[in-house]
Amino acid sequence: MVTPLDVVKKKRAEAVNRIISKGYLSTKRVYVGMATCEIAAGSKEVMSVFRQAIANGLTDVYLSQKGCAGRCNLEPTVEVVEEGCIPVKYGRVTPERAREIVERHLKKGETITEWII
């Protein structure tokens, strides 16, 4: 017989697994600007680079979108937030730059100062 406590334990385990699988507990967070003007500037392609990196094994990274930053001349923008560090916002991010952000910043911990806004 299934007790109410068994049901609660199962629901809790499912919730914890969802939280972990979505990356909510990651120490690195990447936010790609996805307002209408950023999409027009190419942010969907930038977002797909980060999605692909995660699909290919990049771990400990939570990927999400963000709204308008009010800096249309610097779009697409990507913000990297790491535990214990000052957030870094990159501007004019192309798919090529996104790949560099993955390799240099997310994998090696190197801030790419020339792209910071």
78-82/61-66 β-pairing:
unpaired
List pLDDT tens digits, range 71-116.
Answer: 889 999 999 999 999 999 999 999 999 999 999 999 999 999 999 9
Q: What is the DSSP letter of 83?
A: T
- Is 14 a member of any domain? no
How many whole angstroms separate alpha carbon 21 and alpha carbon 24?
Answer: 8
Residues in the chain: 117
Write out the two tokens for 2: 């299934």
- Is 18 a member of any domain? no
Domain holding 68, by residue range, is: 25-115
pTM of the model: 0.86
Domain count, the chain: 1
Strand partners, 62: 29
Q: Residue 54's closest CA among 98, 13, 10? A: 98
Indicate which CATH number applies to the domain containing 83: 3.40.30.10
- Is 19 a member of any domain? no
- Is 16 a member of any domain? no
